[in-house]
């Protein structure tokens, strides 16, 4: 069905595996299109409650595969970003399902943005987050500027981009960019266990949680207070809430 990725399904968790290990899962046109498409498909798949993304081989994703692009196309770099990269990030952010990144090795450029756009990021100890845009005389794209400013603030984001700084897993964790570092031996099992724990939650609840927290990044407090009340009405009307209250009273 796909040429550069495959999907594994297990107990309501669907794992998307980027499958260009010989190129460290670098992004060509087709892989970008496949990532956006598969996230959208899994979002409306009733059997999927959590989406996990990982890379085949030694790296998560090395960013744009420069060998796959005709040099003449760089005159329209904005079109590459708009048509290929942005749909991947928007598919992840707009998905009603939790999306978990499992990162080993390099997550570079657009591949770094792909990981950081996810709701949860688990990494191996050797993970490296690289944003070398200015190093090749480009500016941040694929949501990198938004994600870093929102998570780190303007000054820290400016420092990282302007210095072409690569972040180790330990540095990324200290900055709050990732959730957890694990040994290579523990990563697969621990990340999958967390995905299965997320899958136990109500899909509606998880979808509304994503919407609420993303709105909280940009909207004023008064609007968020109203939005919290709106979603709380929906949550409290769900049978899951009534069952949870019933179980709580039994304790």
pLDDT bucket at 238, cuts 50 / 70 / 90: confident
Residue 222, pLDDT score: 97
State yes or no: pLDDT of 56 exceeds 80. Answer: yes
Q: What's the DSSP call for residue 247? A: H
CATH 3.90.226.10 assigned to domain 5-199? The reply is yes
Domain boundaries, the chain: 5-199, 203-250
List the structure tokens of 12: 């309501």
Q: Tell me which of 196 and 137 has the higher pLDDT.
A: 196
pLDDT (mean) for 89-96? 98
pLDDT (mean) for 36-52? 98
Q: Where are the alpha helices (DSSP H) in 103-250?
A: 110-116, 144-152, 154-162, 169-174, 184-199, 203-216, 221-236, 239-250
Residue 67, pLDDT score: 83
The per-residue pLDDT for range 130-182, each reduced to its tens digit, is 999 989 888 999 999 999 999 999 999 999 999 998 999 999 999 999 999 99
State yes or no: pLDDT of 74 exceeds 70. Answer: no
Count CB atoms within 10 A of the CB of residue 179: 17
């Amino acid at each position: 069905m796909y040429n550069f990725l495959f999907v594994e399904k297990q107990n309501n968790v669907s794992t998307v595996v980027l499958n260009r290990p010989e190129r460290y899962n670098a992004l060509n046109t087709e892989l970008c299109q496949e990532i956006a498409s598969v996230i959208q498909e899994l979002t409306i798949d009733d059997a999927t409650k959590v989406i996990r993304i990982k890379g085949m081989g030694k790296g998560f994703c090395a960013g744009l595969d420069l060998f796959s692009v005709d040099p003449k196309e760089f005159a329209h770099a904005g079109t590459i970003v708009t048509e290929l990269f942005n749909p991947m990030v928007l598919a992840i952010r707009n998905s009603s399902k939790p999306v978990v990144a499992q990162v080993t090795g390099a997550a570079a450029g657009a591949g770094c943005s792909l990981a950081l756009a996810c709701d949860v990021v688990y990494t191996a100890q050797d993970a490296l987050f690289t944003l070398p845009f200015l190093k090749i005389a480009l500016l941040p794209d694929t949501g990198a500027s938004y994600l870093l400013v929102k998570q780190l603030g303007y000054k820290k984001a400016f420092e990282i981009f302007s210095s072409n700084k690569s972040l180790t897993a330990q540095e990324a964790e200290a900055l709050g960019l990732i959730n957890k570092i694990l040994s290579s031996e523990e990563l697969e099992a621990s990340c999958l266990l967390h995905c299965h724990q997320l899958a136990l939650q109500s899909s509606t609840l998880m979808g509304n949680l994503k919407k609420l927290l993303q709105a909280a990044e940009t909207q004023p407090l008064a609007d968020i207070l109203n939005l919290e009340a709106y979603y709380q009405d929906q949550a409290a009307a769900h049978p899951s809430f009534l069952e949870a209250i019933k179980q709580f009273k039994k304790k």
